[in-house]
Amino acid sequence: MGTQQGKRSPEPRSNDLPTAVVTPPWVKQAVFYQIFPDRFAKSESLDKPHNLEPWDSDPTPFGYKGGDLVGVRERLDYLQDLGVTALYFNPIFQSACNHRYHTHDYYKVDPLLGGDEAFDALLAECRRRGMRIVLDGVFNHASRGFFPFNDVLENGPASPWLDWFTFYEHPANAYDHGQPPGYQAWVGLHALPKLNTDNPQVREYLMRVGEYWLRKGIDGWRLDVPSEIHSEGFWQEFRQRAKAINPEAYIVGEIWGDSRQWLQGDQFDGVMNYLFAEAAIAFSAGHRVRRETVEDRAYAPWPGIDGRAYAAKINHILRLYPWPIQLTQLNLLDSHDTSRFLTIAGDDRASVRLGTLLLFTFPGAPSIYYGDEIGLTGALPPDHWARKTFPWDHPERWDLDALASHKELIALRQSHPALQTGDYTSLYADPDVYAFARTLEGSTMIVAVNVAEAGRRFEIPLTGALPAQPAAATLLFTTDGSPTAELVAGALMLTLPARCGLVLNASPVSHDRVTT
């Protein structure tokens, strides 16, 4: 999986890569915030159906809380104060489920979210503020309410839309969950009929959906289960048509593992970086990772790893893809498809602080799952607490230290370009400690993390490891305690308290010895 130390090569490591891989520049400076629309914010200005669950009640698989896009617009001040520059929305299109991955109409915003008018107003306000919007594209499957599929349910083999799907029997079994569906469905779920993307009409329909919303002004697409679409050239064509409308459109796929097949520069600009999430959670939380919160997911943070294993995993990840794509990966610690990191870590806040430090200093765009910044908890299966509502009316439930730490890390990342696009160099790893540097045009940032239950003092040799030898080290951020740093004769002596991480600004100056 790699070695203890290793510097990122400026050249792609994969074979047969395009000669020039181009990714959207704005993503490299972005801080994303993932919003699950039904659970983030609810505006009192919208008239809603009456059978909604109370906002503060326990989440359920099928119930709606009534969150909407007007509520998001009303909270943009909060998001900008946090430092967020881009919003990634779980599906917003008309649907018959609270997560809206069962699309009814790809051209209409769900009425419960405020409809097209609410989205247009949100988009305009985000443009005014310089914020970006990325939507979730569910193009592998639709729903029983999608008009072509519904027509087949009504008319059987006489339906003109028959070949938009793959049917095995008529009448198709769309609702008896005790028997298999009579058609191809995503992971066999009756509610999610798989679209026949080998049909040129279906393919063109989906391409036009992608184009329509880009013309409306969105900044990109997060693509749901794109590996399930095997039609030759589908994602290459999607990229070409999207980039023809907006060359800086961000195309990011939901791929949980090695994504080299899709990250050659001709399909996606990045993926949801669950490989990073797995490594960062496993290292920062270690033995605290609760197996039951992760064991049915497509990543493996359990049973935890030490600093040397983390170094090996990170160096492996950084060798998988071209550097322009590394800088536009969508990095995360959790999402709507996982348990919350704090719950995974057994409610250990130090683990979350350390993991969040790794997130905001790693190459790629960091993404915050709504509410992580105030310490929301929750497992995903089976109780859906990872999708609980944001407690706007209960600030006493907020972890204000976590919120302040997020703000500080985001401001640090945005004020130091080396943390956005700088080269990445692993400097040191032992069972308890990992340290690395981000360097860019004379600027050097050093990040170190100690996951041990005791303080550690250790030496990091710097001679030959960095482009320029630093002779000053200024402490910019620490998760806890009072760490110290001392530069002596080409080495950095660090003292880190237990369960502590830091960021240093190490600059090449003429002094021989500087202590912070």
Kindly list the catalytic residues: 224, 254
140 with 192: CB under 8 angstroms?
Answer: no
Give the phi and the psi of residue 219 in degrees, each rounded to 5: -105, 5
Alpha-carbon gap, residue 215 to 124, rounded angstroms: 13
Best CA proximity match to 211, nearest among 108, 121, 107? 107
User: What's the CA dihedral at 120, 123, 128, 134 to 10 degrees?
Assistant: -170
Asked whether the CA dihedral 106, 387, 403, 391 is positive or negative, the reply is: positive
Q: Which residue has the tokens 């915050």?
A: 368
Q: In what order do the strands lie in the sheet with 423-429?
A: 6-7, 423-429, 433-440, 443-450, 500-507, 472-478
Rg (C-alpha) for the chain, rounded Å, is 24
Alpha-carbon gap, residue 401 to 408, rounded angstroms: 10
Question: Cβ-count burial of 232 within 10 angstroms (0-12 exposed, 13-18 middle, 19+ buried)?
Answer: exposed
Best CA proximity match to 251, nearest among 496, 487, 22, 513? 22
What residues contact residue 318 under an 8 Å CB cut-off, 6+ apart?
Answer: 8, 326, 363, 424
Best CA proximity match to 91, nearest among 192, 227, 233? 192
Q: In what order do the strands lie in the sheet with 484-488?
A: 456-461, 491-496, 484-488, 513-515
Q: Tokens for 411? A: 């401001």
Q: Which residue has the tokens 């021989």?
A: 512
At what angle are helices 400-415 and 349-360 packed, to 10 degrees?
Answer: 20
Alpha-carbon gap, residue 51 to 76, rounded angstroms: 28
Angle formed at CA 105 by CA 104 and CA 109, multiple of 5 degrees = 110
Q: Which residue has the tokens 């087949």?
A: 152
Give the Å distances, CA to CA, from 250 to 25, 147, 219, 446, 475.
10, 29, 6, 29, 34
